[in-house]
Chain A
Amino acid sequence: SQTIHQWPATLVQPVGSPLSLECTVEGTSNPNLYWYRQAAGRGLQLLFYSVGIGQISSEVPQNLSASRPQDRQFILSSKKLLLSDSGFYLCAWSVGLNSGANVLTFGAGSRLTVL
């Protein structure tokens, strides 16, 4: 069966520090991978998605970046965190279909607090 792992679960970082959140998927190949953020009082906002190694699409311009160095690994990074980067970050995967309903499976999330 497929599983998705995301870490760290909780992170407290000072403003201006770097960030690295990692996500891996097991039990499938060539998945679509996503990073979402849930900020306080807001819904789930799509940040990045990837349909293959090295292929990253950004949905929201900001100081975050994403990389996909391996088929089932997705990394969210920042060189300098802002206070507004605080939130609950969710990695997700879906089957790599060209059409049809796209059901996402989410990881457990990473709570980031920027102080």
Chain B
Amino acid sequence: DQQVKQNSPSLSVQEGRISILNCDYTNSMFDYFLWYKKYPAEGPTFLISISSIKDKNEDGRFTVFLNKSAKHLSLHIVPSQPGDSAVYFCAAGVSDSGAGSYQLTFGKGTKLSVIP
């Protein structure tokens, strides 16, 4: 059972426009969420995170929105640039103490292509 779902395997956006990547989760215990960016043949790099006590977190061109009631989060990139073309992974975790806090559950990723 997939606890973190990224239902769009790919997304194409024109340079300068907004990219919106979506992620849904089923486990109500998750209380923090992260987005990672991955280029081919490289490891994922951390992009931005959000705690469940917030509904928005912003870092430059990247904003993550969290809707807890819908168990949905999204990553907005604006304006999109060709260098943003990569696979984006959504991840979720539980921050309490114990073994659960060591695990992140990842989605399958969404491949973003920004067209010049």
Nearest opposing residue in chain B for A90, CB measure:
B43
Chain A positions 80 through 110: 1 when the CB is less than 8 Å from some CB of chain B, otherwise 0: 0000000000101010011111111111110
Residues of the B chain whose Cβ atoms lie less than 8 Å from the Cβ of A99: 95-97, 101
B103–A108 CB distance below 8 A: no
Q: How far is the CA of A72 from the CA of B97 in the complex (A)?
A: 22
Smallest beta-carbon distance A61→chain B, Å: 16
The chain A residue sitting closest to B5, CB to CB, is: A43
A51 contacts B102, CB within 8 Å?
A: yes
In the complex, are the beta carbons of A43 and B104 less than 8 A apart? no
B104–A102 contact, CB under 8 A? yes
Interface size class of B (residues with CB under 8 A): 20 to 34
Can you name the residue of chain B whose Cβ is closest to the Cβ of A92?
B43
Q: Which residues 71-116 of B sit at the A interface, judged by CB distance below 8 A?
A: 89, 91, 93, 95-99, 101-109
Q: Per-position contact with A for B9-50: 1 when CB-CB < 8 Å, else 0?
A: 000000000000000000000001010100001111110010
Asked if A102 and B43 sit within 8 Å, CB to CB, the answer is: no
Q: Output the least CB separation between B6 and chain A (Å).
A: 8
Binding site for B on A (CB under 8 A): 6, 32, 36, 41-46, 49, 51, 57, 59, 90, 92, 94, 97-109, 111
23 A–B contacts from the bound complex (CB under 8 Å): A6-B43, A43-B106, A46-B103, A46-B105, A49-B102, A51-B102, A57-B99, A90-B44, A94-B102, A97-B101, A98-B97, A99-B95, A99-B96, A101-B51, A101-B95, A102-B103, A103-B49, A106-B36, A106-B45, A108-B43, A109-B41, A109-B42, A111-B41
